[in-house]
């Protein structure tokens, strides 16, 4: 291996080690996602379910019914 490449690799490894040591000694402060992540996810899921439940019950669509034989064409007016 070339001396320049070896030096660059050792510098990179030393930098990664320093970052790891720095992060290991720092106290972990809970972030927004740590504090409220589950609540936000559950609230979003409940709002999603409520809104789509309302939409599906209020549309009055006959689901899965074929229109064949129910729709008759109108006479063409010229």
pLDDT score, position 52? 93
pLDDT score, position 49? 97
Domain residues for the domain of 20 are: 1-59
Q: Tell whether 26 is covered by a domain.
A: yes
Question: Computed from CA positions of residues 55, 60, 66, 70, in that sequence, does the dihedral angle turn out positive or negative?
Answer: negative
Provide φ and ψ at 60, rounded to 5°: 55, 45
Q: Tell whether 68 is covered by a domain.
A: no
**What is the rounded CA–CA span in Å between residue 20 and residue 26?**
10
Query: Is a pLDDT exceeding 90 seen at residue 30?
Result: no
- Joined together, the tokens standing for residue 8 give 């660059």
- Joined together, the tokens standing for residue 66 give 């074929």
Q: Tell whether 78 is covered by a domain.
A: no
- Helices and strands (DSSP H and E) totals, the chain: 2, 0
The CATH number covering residue 22 comes to 4.10.51
**pTM value > 0.85:** no
């Amino acid at each position: 291996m070339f001396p320049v490449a070896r030096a660059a690799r050792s510098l990179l490894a030393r930098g990664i080690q320093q970052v790891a040591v720095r992060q290991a000694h720092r106290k972990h402060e809970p972030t927004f996602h740590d504090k409220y992540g589950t609540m936000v996810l559950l609230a979003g899921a409940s709002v999603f379910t409520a809104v789509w439940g309302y939409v599906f019950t209020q549309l009055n669509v006959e689901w899965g019914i074929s229109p064949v034989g129910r729709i008759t064409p109108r006479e063409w007016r010229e």
